[in-house]
Homo-oligomer: A and B are copies of this chain.
Amino acid sequence: MLTGGGDAPGLNAVLFGLVTRAEALGIECLASEDGYEGLIKGCLVPLDAAKVRGISSQGGSVIGCSNRANPYAYPRRNPDGTLVTEDVSARVAETVKRENVDVVVALGGDGTMAMTSRLALLGVRSVGVPKTIDNDLAATDVTFGFQSAVDFATMAVDRIHTTASAHDRVMIIEVMGRYAGWIALEAGLAGGAHVIVLPEFEYDAQRIADAIHRRASQGVNYSIIVISEGAKPIGGTHAITKDMPAGHLPKLGGAGDRLGKALEPLVPDHEIRVTVLGHVQRGGSPVPFDRVLGIRMGVAAAEAVAAGLEGVMVSLKAGRIVTVPMSDAVGRTRNVTAEDERVLAARAVGVEFGVDFDRR
Give the residue of B59, B154, B275, B296 whose beta carbon is less than 8 angstroms from that of A342.
B296
Which listed residue (B16, B156, B251, B288) contacts A272, Cβ 8 A? Answer: B251
Question: How many Å lie between the Cα of A88 and that of B87 in the bound state?
Answer: 66
CB distance from A105 to the nearest CB of B (A): 16
Whose C-beta in chain B lies nearest to the C-beta of A275? B278
Of A92-100, A124-132, A315-323, the one contacting chain B is A315-323
CB-CB < 8 A to A189: which residues of B?
291-292, 295
**A162 at interface, CB cutoff 8 A:** yes
Q: A192 near B: Cβ within 8 Å?
A: yes
Is A46 interfacial (CB 8 A cutoff)? no
B-chain residues with CB within 8 Å of residue A271 when the two chains form the complex? 247, 249, 251
A288 touches which one: B187, B280, B320 (CB < 8 A)?
B187
Which chain B residue lies CB-closest to A24?
Answer: B348
- Near B by CB (< 8 A), chain A positions 271-307 give 271-285, 287-289, 291-292, 295-296, 299, 302
**A275/B274 contact (C-beta < 8 A), A20-B350, A57-B192, A166-B64 known:** no
Quickly give the copy total for this chain.
Answer: 4
Q: What residues of B have a CB within 8 angstroms of the CB of A281 in the complex?
A: 159
Contact A165 B321 (CB under 8 A): no
Give min CB distance, A259 to chain B, whole Å.
Answer: 10
Q: Which of B60, B261, B344 contacts A163 (CB 8 A)?
A: B60
A335 lies within 8 A of chain B by Cβ: no
The yes or no answer to A210 lying at the interface (CB within 8 A) is no
Asked whether, in the complex, the Cβ of A273 is within 8 Å of the Cβ of B284, the reply is no
Q: Is the beta-carbon distance between B279 and A171 smaller than 8 angstroms? A: yes
Q: When the two chains form their complex, are residues A349 and B318 in contact, meaning their CB atoms are under 8 A apart?
A: no
Knowing that A17-B349, A49-B350 touch, tell me 13 more A-B residue pairs with CB under 8 angstroms: A7-B163, A61-B162, A64-B166, A65-B167, A141-B319, A159-B280, A159-B283, A160-B280, A164-B279, A252-B260, A275-B277, A318-B318, A318-B319
Q: Which 5 A-B pairs have the closest CB atoms?
A: A60-B162, A159-B283, A275-B278, A190-B288, A159-B284
Which residues of A are in contact with B by a Cβ distance under 8 Å?
6-7, 16-17, 20-21, 24, 49, 54, 56-61, 64-67, 141, 147, 150-152, 154-156, 158-167, 169, 171, 173, 186-187, 189-192, 247, 249, 251-253, 257, 260-261, 264, 271-285, 287-289, 291-292, 295-296, 299, 302, 318-321, 341-342, 344-345, 348-350
